Amino acid sequence: MATLLIRNGRLIDPSRNLDVQRDLWIRDGKVAPDDFAAERPDDVFDAAGMLVMPGFVDVHVHLREPGNEQAETVETGCAAALAGGFTTLVCMPNTIPAMDNPDVVRRVLDKAAAVRGPRVYALGAVTVGRQGKRLAPMELLAEAGVVGFTDDGSGVQDEALARAAMQRAAALGLRIAEHCEVARLSEGGVIRRGPAAERACLPGLPPEAESDMVARDLRLARELKTSVHLQHLSTMQSVAHLRAAKARGIRFTAEVTPHHLALTDEDAADGGPDFKMNPPLGFEGDRKALCEALRDNIIEIIATDHAPHTPAAKALGFKNAPSGVIGMETAASVIWTHVAQRGFLSPLQMAARMSLAPAAAFKLEGGTLKPGARADVAVFNPDLSWTPKPEEFRSRGRNCPFKGRLLHGRVVCTVVAGEVKYRDALH
Ligand SMILES: [Zn+2]
């Protein structure tokens, strides 16, 4: 019998609406019964003053393997996840080749299993080569273990194809996750259209590029009596569509990234290629609308869209560098600093948005510290302030927009199935 005691912490369990000062006992990989106590635990972590939460679940991660291992590998991505408190992640299929066939999916999942870090799941591509022309073999992808489908990096432009994809996914008991972007509207834009874009002399992209596809997919979900997942939302127009859809009983889940909750187009215009991502950072009003939507549970999921790129690729300048920023190693700290401390989320809500809700959206295990549950845990020290130095990250990516910016709170210990997989240097 292997036992681990996380003692003196504040136990935060969104699955039981529990926020209480209590020790957490783990036995043989599972959360032990409430009355359990061993005389001598095999391992002890002193969590005095810290939040003990279910391990975080990130449903939007780019592991870059196969095809761009200079930017990230399954192994380095998994290490980054653990350092950020993530015990489960879902990787995106825009690899090279794309995960539009079962072989590539199996290769990535096998590799991840061998790492023995966080649990790794994958979304399969919606269309062959993510080209938006014809549907990928979705049944075969489901057999290979994908937990949903997305052409992330682009949205499915053709409405008939998007409709057929939603139907086929639903028949498999799965859902489409949409990267909402109308290509015709975003064409050439690299930053949100507005004064900051003009000042930086960069081609701008209008908010409708995202919100028009959000509206279309919500309409399709209603017509097909199914549910859709909307990825990395960034505009107040999208939030307005979600609020209206919720009121009408349309089924959806939606995610928002830490960077869209913390930063704006002004940061992008001043900050350079490490602030270039797709969708781009919005106006201050968008940022506020996203925080409010998260507070009100209209958007219930925080996902990082962790997107590593090599320094050489990011050195091409704002206009030509690829879109994307890394995020797993800073996510909890950014949420704590920019969202929780500003009063938009309680610790219990933060835990729900980072573990319970994302797990539920893709029917994954996680998000609970109930006795008997698999012991996936993130210990967060709210009193530890730090300044991210990307050269110290476990990720291969260095494209971090929070580099050099003071953050409050940090993950100090990550437990997967009862095993301590990450412990910071101080503990
Ligand atoms: Zn995307």
Residue type for 234, please?
S
Confidence class for position 426, pLDDT limits 50, 70, 90: confident
Rounded distance, CA 369 to CA 346, Å? Answer: 18
Task: Please state, in angstroms and as integers, the Cα–Cα distance from residue 182 to each residue in 99, 154, 178, 215, following that order.
Answer: 22, 8, 11, 11
134-173: per-residue pLDDT in tens? 999 999 999 999 999 999 999 999 999 999 999 999 999 9
Helices (H) and strands (E) in the chain, counts: 15, 19
Ion ligand 1: residues, CB within 5 A, are 152, 179
CA of 92 to the centre of ligand 1 (A): 9
CA of 49 to the centre of ligand 1 (A): 37
Is pLDDT at 1 greater than 80 in this prediction?
Answer: no
Q: Is the pTM of this model over 0.75?
A: yes
Q: So where are the chain's domains?
A: 3-51+374-423, 55-361
333-349: per-residue pLDDT in tens? 999 999 999 999 999 99
Is pLDDT at 27 greater than 80 in this prediction?
Answer: yes
Annotation says 305 is catalytic = yes
Which of 305, 376, 383, 424 is an active site residue? Answer: 305
193-213: per-residue pLDDT in tens? 999 999 999 999 999 999 999
Q: Quickly name the fold that domain 55-361 has.
A: TIM Barrel (3.20.20)
Is pLDDT at 427 greater than 80 in this prediction?
Answer: no
Q: Phi and psi dihedrals of 192, rounded to 5?
A: -60, 130
CA of 181 to the centre of ligand 1 (A): 9
Is pLDDT at 38 greater than 90 in this prediction?
Answer: no
Which CATH number is 3-51+374-423's, of 3.40.50.300, 3.40.50.620, 2.30.40.10, 3.90.440.10?
2.30.40.10
Is pLDDT at 192 greater than 80 in this prediction?
Answer: yes
Rounded distance, CA 51 to CA 82, Å? Answer: 16
CA of 231 to the centre of ligand 1 (A): 7
Is pLDDT at 234 greater than 80 in this prediction?
Answer: yes
Q: Name, in order, each residue with C-beta under 8 angstroms of 330's C-beta and a sequence gap of 6 or more.
A: 84, 258, 388, 400, 402, 407
